[in-house]
């Protein structure tokens, strides 16, 4: 049994500890440890549905964990370590200089909506987004407040859906993730093509 499976088993049999464990796991995710925020949201919501007395602790734990995880990725890895991460294989895979330029273009054009939309994009896009914001030296207060809004929206939406519909919601979430991912890819390609055209004009 994998480590994360053992943790999930422990959480399900020790619900009173679940908010703290989920909070801690999500903090680790901020350091690019492969822990799924979606899995933590799903687990929290299912436990809350089965144990209503823990509804608020579970939501607070997963929400604060998700939000602070974003701040760790942005602040410690993106701003503090900065460009040095390109020489660290563990972090370098998260973002390339080219992707950084693309994400910065998104931030300049769409502002806070980049973070809101980005939190609904699957396939590891979130951490790359937060890391890019840090590397791009996005204003700390602007990021913190914008991501607070974005995290509030995504956590409330996913937690509520999983809480209300349980496992039946998973397939619908997966399908919506593919659609959102396709839209994000199309937008990214559009930005790249636009940049190439501008370079051709300048040349």
Lowest mean pLDDT among 36-45, 82-91, 94-103, 145-154: 94-103
The answer to whether residue 145 scores a pLDDT higher than 80 is yes
Domain that holds residue 40: 3-202
Neighbour-count burial of 154, counting CB atoms closer than 10 A to its CB (0-12 exposed, 13-18 middle, 19+ buried): buried
Domains of the chain: total = 1
Helices (H), the chain: 3-13, 18-29, 37-50, 55-72, 89-92, 97-110, 112-118, 125-135, 140-165, 168-202
**pLDDT interval class at 62 (50, 70, 90):** very high
The answer to whether residue 31 scores a pLDDT higher than 80 is yes
CA distance 99 to 183: 17
Q: How confident is the model at residue 1, as a pLDDT?
A: 47
Q: How confident is the model at residue 197, as a pLDDT?
A: 60
The answer to whether residue 171 scores a pLDDT higher than 70 is no
Q: How confident is the model at residue 48, as a pLDDT?
A: 94
The alpha carbons of the chain give a radius of gyration, in whole angstroms, of: 18
| Neighbouring C-beta atoms of residue 33, cutoff 10 Å | 12
Could you tell me the sign of the dihedral formed by the alpha carbons of 55, 25, 10, 169, in that order?
positive
Q: How confident is the model at residue 109, as a pLDDT?
A: 75
CA distance 107 to 134: 12
Mean per-residue pLDDT, 168-192:
53
With CA atoms as reference, report the closest residue to 143 among 174, 186, 188, 112: 112
**pLDDT interval class at 169 (50, 70, 90):** low
Lowest mean pLDDT among 7-21, 78-92, 176-190: 176-190
194-198 LR contacts (CB < 8 Å, sep 24+): 195/101, 195/105
CA distance 56 to 6: 24
Q: How confident is the model at residue 61, as a pLDDT?
A: 97
Contact yes or no for 58/47 (Cβ under 8 A): yes
Could you tell me the sign of the dihedral formed by the alpha carbons of 99, 100, 104, 107, in that order?
positive
């Amino acid at each position: 049994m994998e480590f994360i499976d053992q943790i999930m088993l422990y959480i399900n049999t020790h619900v009173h500890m679940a908010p703290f464990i989920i909070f801690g796991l999500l903090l680790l995710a901020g350091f690019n440890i492969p822990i799924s925020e979606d899995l933590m949201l799903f687990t929290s919501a299912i436990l809350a549905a089965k144990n209503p007395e823990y509804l608020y602790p579970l939501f607070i734990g997963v929400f604060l964990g998700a939000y602070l995880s974003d701040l760790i990725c942005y602040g410690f890895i993106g701003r503090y370590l900065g460009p040095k991460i390109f020489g660290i294989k563990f972090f370098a895979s998260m973002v390339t200089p080219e992707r950084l330029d693309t994400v910065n273009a998104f931030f300049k054009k769409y502002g806070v909506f980049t973070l809101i939309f980005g939190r609904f994009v699957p396939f590891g896009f979130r951490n790359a987004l937060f890391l890019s914001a840090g590397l791009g030296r996005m204003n700390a207060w602007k990021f913190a407040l914008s991501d607070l809004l974005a995290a509030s929206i995504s956590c409330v939406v996913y937690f509520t859906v999983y809480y209300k519909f349980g496992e039946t919601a998973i397939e619908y979430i997966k399908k919506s993730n593919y659609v959102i991912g396709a839209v994000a890819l199309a937008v990214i390609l559009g930005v790249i093509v636009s940049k190439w055209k501008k370079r051709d004009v300048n040349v």
